[in-house]
Amino acid sequence: MSPEQVQDVIARTRFNDDGLVPAIAQQWDSREVLMMAWMDEAALRETLETGRGIYFSRSRGARWAKGDTSGHVQQVREVRLDCDGDTVLLLVDQTGAACHTGDRTCFDADVVVVAP
Amino acid sequence: MSPEQVQDVIARTRFNDDGLVPAIAQQWDSREVLMMAWMDEAALRETLETGRGIYFSRSRGARWAKGDTSGHVQQVREVRLDCDGDTVLLLVDQTGAACHTGDRTCFDADVVVVAP
């Protein structure tokens, strides 16, 4: 992706007052929703430039390159902005577990059936 | 769902400083990510009690019963909390378009291919 294309995406993204945008990661083929995390502009830029899922850790207040410790990296295939540009959807290929608990997704452990 | 079960889910949910939690709506069978919106405690409670997708509109500062105007209601089948309880995933059956633009999902219009 060219620097101009990267800049265009960033210009269309509406970051919140903290300079962050929520990013949903979805496994591209199975369509599982893997996790939801946050990106600042630098994280979105690095994701677009490198094709790897990079986030901003709100608890640590710092860049979070997913998989640096665990090896559970995300190869990003598509980045989608929603209709008002304030949410990012990433179609990724997730290596191993997306969740720090070891579960495949962060949404595996607490399932409430409302209407089966 | 019993009042006790509803209260248990609410007690496990970590609302942010504004009293809100992000809620991702996913079509239960196709697994499309339809939209991301926000819920306050009352919206989550009503969603659990009624099985219908109810949100909190940040722009209007008020309850938002999706589909009341458009007819594009969401029948909720599952509510999932993520590993730290600060994001909700709804598995829904979406009537018609999820997006106010008329698109099926809010993520249909702005797709950036990173690595095909």
Residue A6 has pLDDT above 80, yes or no: yes
Mean local confidence (pLDDT), A10-35 = 98
Domain B3-94, second-level architecture: Roll (3.10)
Which run of H or of E encompasses A112? strand A110-113
A87, B36: Cβ pair inside 8 Å? yes
Residue B50, C-beta contacts closer than 8 angstroms, at least 6 positions apart? none
Average pLDDT, chain A: 96
Q: What is the pLDDT of residues A68-107, one digit of tens each?
A: 999 999 999 999 999 999 999 999 999 999 999 999 999 9
Give the pLDDT of residue B1: 85
> Is the distance from CB of B34 to CB of B105 less than 8 angstroms?
yes
Nearest-angstrom CA–CA distance, B7 and B23: 18
> Which amino acid belongs to residue A92?
V
Instruction: Please report, to the nearest 10 degrees, the dihedral formed by the alpha carbons of residues A27, A30, A32, A37 taken in order.
Output: 0
Q: Which of B44, B46, B83, B89 to mutate to test the interface with A (most CBs of A within 10 A)?
A: B83
Amino acid in position A28: W
Contact check, Cβ <8 Å, B80/A110 = yes
The answer, yes or no, to whether residue A115 has pLDDT greater than 90, is: no
Residue A89, classed as helix, strand or coil, is: strand
How many angstroms separate the CA of residue A54 from the nearest CA in chain B? 13
* Cα–Cα dist B80/B89, whole Å: 5
The distance of Cα A34 from the centroid of its chain, to the nearest Å, equals 9
SS3 assignment, position B1: coil
Q: What is the pTM of this model?
A: 0.97
Contact A47, A31 (CB under 8 A): no
Quick: pLDDT tens for B57-71.
Answer: 999 999 999 999 999
Residue with tokens 């939690």: B21
pLDDT per residue as tens digits for the range B77-107: 999 999 999 999 999 999 999 999 999 999 9
Domain ranges of chain B: 3-94
- Residue B106 to residue A82, Cβ atoms within 8 A: yes
Average pLDDT in chain B: 96
pLDDT value, residue A116: 63
Q: Give dist(CA A24, CA A6) in Å, integer.
A: 19
Torsions phi, psi of A35, nearest 5? -170, 165
- A49 in reach of chain B (CB within 8 A): no
Please give the Cα distance from A6 to B43 (Å, whole number): 37
Q: Tell me whether residue B113 is exposed, middle or buried, using C-beta atoms within 10 angstroms of its C-beta: 0 to 12, 13 to 18, 19 or more.
A: exposed
